[in-house]
Structure 1
Amino acid sequence: MYALVDCNNFYASCERVFNPGLRHQPIAILSNNDGCVISRSDEAKHIGLPMGAPIFKWDNFCKEHNIKVFSSNYPLYGDMSNRVMKILEQFTPDVEVYSIDEAFLQFKGFDNYNFDDYGNQMRQRILKWTGIPTSIGIAPTKALSKVANKIARKFPEQTKDVYVIDSEEKRIKALKWIKIEDVWGIGYRLSKRLKHKNCNTAYDFVQLSDAWVLKNFSITEWKLKKDLEGIPTLKLDEIKNKRAIATTRSFEYTFSDIENIKERISTFATSCAEKLRKQQSSCHMIIVMLSSDRHKKDLEQHKASTMVSLPYPTNSSLIISDCAVKAVTSVFKSGIKYKRAGVIVTGIVPTNNHQLDLFEHENPKHQPLMQAIDGLNKKYRDYKIKLGNQDLKRTWKMRQERLSPRYTTDINDIITIKC
């Protein structure tokens, strides 16, 4: 059996854990730089606040309806997500973290378990230990557990937020209920093609022949079809090292001077280097991108990128940052107001197993230095150790005018209890 555990309105729920006065209040969470709405509580949805709404256009609407608006507090959300995932590992060792608020679980050797009770145990423990409400769907396959989860979320009073598909009757009823566009793995274009075939529900989809699906789609859609039929075909994903690592961000303001851009690029490059070390990898190539604000048509536009090939693989923040800064300097154009930049490291190889160069190699002092920096930053969390050309006050310069405290990751923001 498989389970999909989904945290309900996760970002809003994280805000409510430490501010109980927000319970039953409409809440909206904004994207980077306080741009658009990326998460809403059920109350905000019912009022009519759309997903993706630009806040500068909907600010008056939020004030009129008393919608509480917050900047994205990723340190808080990431820490709360990690706590939820650690709790799930107590119920089974086979856990696939699907997103910040979702996880698939596989139950091997649980043949005689009552999954309704087991699902309720998971939900109650997460709620008690973290304060995060969840919906849980349990079924014989991953795709069916997604369907079961949607039923649990849609009908919380009838299901008590836990629904188990454990019979053929329940499977068929669930497939007839869910629309084809709501099936996990079927996007807008694919659903449009299927509707031309009079395939409007998941049940209609599984009635198609295997040969027709393979001829008109791909092996991925065929696997999804078999999964919906109750035949386990989609397995839990194994954690694999990334083939490329990117850090791209929009600036808080437009920059037309090279010094500010060099500082941002250095910070992005350092982030990529840290991610490389975390997965014990090194890179051969660095790609640096720089672009102006495409939305301001009245200004001169410029978009450029360049690639740097390294003579030897490295994960040193010093080397990657230095190369990235030199690269962005070469594509920088004076007089342009730049809004976005990014660094991508690719050509990734294992740090402990790569081709050596006879004449060029990394300074042997870099690796112990990087280990010391990573150790200190992990211990104190707030990235106290940085390169000299980085901004020492903040990691990302984003507009966050509505940011809530980082209750669980910053001792200065720890919750105060009034007795």
Structure 2
Amino acid sequence: MPSREPVFALIDCNSFYASCERVFRPDLAKTPIVVLSNNDGCVIARSYDAKPFVKMGAPYFQIKDVLRKHGVQVFSSNYALYGDMSERVMSIIESMVPTVEVYSIDEAFADLTGIPGNLTTFGRTIRAAVYKGTGIPVGVGIAPTKTLAKLANHTAKRLQVETGGVVDICDPAKRDWVLRNTDVGEVWGVGRRMKAHFETMEIRSAMDLAKADPWTLRQKFSVVIEKTARELNGTSCLELTEAEPAKQEICSSRMFGKRLTTIEPIKEAVATYVQRASEKLRAQNSLCKKLRVSIRTGMFSPEEAKYANGALVELPYPTNDVRLLTKAANEAVHRLFRPGFKYSKAEVLLMDLRQPGEFTDDLFAQSQPQAAEKVMSVLDEINQRWGRGTLRTGNVPAIPDWGMRREMMSQSFTTKLDHLWIVKSN
């Protein structure tokens, strides 16, 4: 029986953060939207109709008047909402295709190999199902390789009116049209610096890169660029990855909403970051043997004294117990803190991560008690059911005074009971 040629789809949410905000604010359907980074620092997301007025990464304090002038709605980042909406989108996609690789919070590769019928029609079915179930618009690119699927998706968004948000380039003629009409800088993995190198070689379009000699690209650049060129030619070099490999380090850090000058709020912040990092640790079923805590002042104001330091803590045994991790982190903060400084940020880094049974200590070495594992299991179950932070260690405040500035944050419509929509009848 002949082998089937692979077919990939990339399903990518359109202006995802802005789209999430619009789901629960239908009055903003035709209003340009931008979303800001932590502490309302700079623009990290824009709706399509906001792009003419603001650049990505622009500092908010510099563009306030411009946004107001053009009627752009501004939101603080609401990651609880975005994460929950992402899970809903991915669940719908997973229910419709055999295999899914969640590539990022707003996009996923799907394996369409062997699916009968017209794939463009199937792509529109996926698009309609996601929109009906979540209110999030998506683009769908279909192709024989992942790199081409990315390009097809880019074309679907660029020519949304003409394509209906779905582009299938499994046909060689359609693929060649997309390659000829796509700048090489739009190819997956080609950044600004790489594009500049390509232009010196007269490689300006995706088609030029596809026609370039793969071995020359490998020698001059890397095997990654060689594979990119082969993928543009229709040879699949990148497989679908269903499970993300366990992280070797887990970091949790945030800028404070204001400068801190005493140790207690810093300890609260560090305990909060430990709680989040330990949740990620347990989610990938790992244990941690080392922990690093660092604190620092603002580094750019000439009027503030500068200080930055970190401390590495060796834990008594590999653990994912938030209580033990918090205790070790607090001890580190006591070692690091120096009075007389205005602190702006703290970071917690979990290191030396292994799966249970991978640590090779001696026979008499201490190990994590089974009771601790049961307590952590109950902790996670409660927080998954009732919302993050429902159950937490005593030194993690519910509403911290030092928390990030989020003066324009929308409600957590899908993750907090007291933020649910209220429907009033006349």
Partner of 1:16: 22
Q: Does structure 1 conserve the Cα–Cα contact (< 8 Å) formed by 2:39 and 2:257? A: yes
Q: Does structure 2 conserve the Cα–Cα contact (< 8 Å) formed by 1:72 and 1:403? A: yes
TM-score w.r.t. the length of structure 2 is 0.94
Whether 1:201 and 2:224 are equivalent positions in the alignment is no
Partner of 1:269: 274
Partner of 2:399: 393
Q: CA deviation at 1:99?
A: 1.1
Q: Does structure 2 conserve the Cα–Cα contact (< 8 Å) formed by 1:80 and 1:130? A: yes
What does residue range 15-54 of structure 1 map to in structure 2 within 5 Å? 15-46=21-52, 48-54=53-59
What does residue range 132-211 of structure 1 map to in structure 2 within 5 Å? 132-211=136-215
Q: Does structure 2 conserve the Cα–Cα contact (< 8 Å) formed by 1:136 and 1:148? A: yes
Q: Does structure 1 conserve the Cα–Cα contact (< 8 Å) formed by 2:265 and 2:402? A: no
* Cα distance in 2 for residues equivalent to 1:292 and 1:257: 12
Amino acid at match of 2:399: K
Percent identity (aligned): 37
Whether 1:328 and 2:333 are equivalent positions in the alignment is yes
* Cα distance in 2 for residues equivalent to 1:377 and 1:115: 40
2:408 to 402, 405, 409: 402
Q: CA deviation at 1:21?
A: 0.4
Q: Does structure 2 conserve the Cα–Cα contact (< 8 Å) formed by 1:30 and 1:70? A: yes
Give unmatched runs, 5+ long, in structure 1: none
Partner of 2:252: 247
| Cα gap change, 1:394 to 1:299, in 2 (>3 Å) | closer
* Cα distance in 2 for residues equivalent to 1:281 and 1:190: 37
Partner of 2:291: 286
* Cα distance in 1 for residues equivalent to 2:377 and 2:358: 18
Q: CA deviation at 1:113?
A: 2.5
What does residue range 84-123 of structure 1 map to in structure 2 within 5 Å? 84-110=89-115, 112-123=116-127
* Cα distance in 1 for residues equivalent to 2:311 and 2:317: 18
Amino acid at match of 1:78: G
Q: Does structure 1 conserve the Cα–Cα contact (< 8 Å) formed by 2:101 and 2:240? A: yes
Q: CA deviation at 1:31?
A: 0.9
Partner of 1:131: 135
Q: CA deviation at 1:354?
A: 3.0
Whether 1:416 and 2:395 are equivalent positions in the alignment is no
Partner of 1:225: 229
Q: CA deviation at 1:328?
A: 2.2
Q: CA deviation at 1:162?
A: 0.5
SS at match of 1:365: helix
* Cα distance in 2 for residues equivalent to 1:133 and 1:8: 6
Q: Does structure 2 conserve the Cα–Cα contact (< 8 Å) formed by 1:210 and 1:222? A: yes
SS at match of 1:251: strand
Q: CA deviation at 1:352?
A: 4.5
Q: CA deviation at 1:20?
A: 0.8
Q: Please identify, of 17-26 and 330-339, the stretch whose mean Cα deviation from structure 2 is larger.
A: 330-339
Q: Deviations over 1:212-239 (max 9, x none)?
A: 1111111111111111110010112232
Q: CA deviation at 1:364?
A: 4.3
Partner of 2:68: 63
Partner of 1:377: 383
* Cα distance in 2 for residues equivalent to 1:286 and 1:51: 34
Q: Please identify, of 75-84 and 368-377, the stretch whose mean Cα deviation from structure 2 is larger.
A: 368-377
* Cα distance in 1 for residues equivalent to 2:32 and 2:302: 36
Whether 1:306 and 2:288 are equivalent positions in the alignment is no
SS at match of 2:345: strand
* Cα distance in 2 for residues equivalent to 1:89 and 1:417: 32
Q: CA deviation at 1:418?
A: 3.8
Give unmatched runs, 5+ long, in structure 2: 1-6
* Cα distance in 1 for residues equivalent to 2:402 and 2:168: 43
* Cα distance in 2 for residues equivalent to 1:390 and 1:418: 36
Q: CA deviation at 1:394?
A: 5.3
2:13 to 7, 11, 16: 7
* Cα distance in 1 for residues equivalent to 2:46 and 2:194: 27
* Cα distance in 2 for residues equivalent to 1:407 and 1:253: 27
Q: CA deviation at 1:136?
A: 0.8
Q: CA deviation at 1:385?
A: 1.4
- How many residue pairs match? The answer is 417
Q: Does structure 2 conserve the Cα–Cα contact (< 8 Å) formed by 1:116 and 1:163? A: yes
| Cα gap change, 1:319 to 1:279, in 2 (>3 Å) | same
Q: Does structure 1 conserve the Cα–Cα contact (< 8 Å) formed by 2:10 and 2:150? A: yes
* Cα distance in 2 for residues equivalent to 1:117 and 1:315: 47
Q: Deviations over 1:126-153 (max 9, x none)?
A: 1111111111110111000010011110
| Cα gap change, 1:359 to 1:50, in 2 (>3 Å) | closer
SS at match of 1:296: coil
Q: Does structure 2 conserve the Cα–Cα contact (< 8 Å) formed by 1:267 and 1:395? A: no
Q: CA deviation at 1:109?
A: 2.1
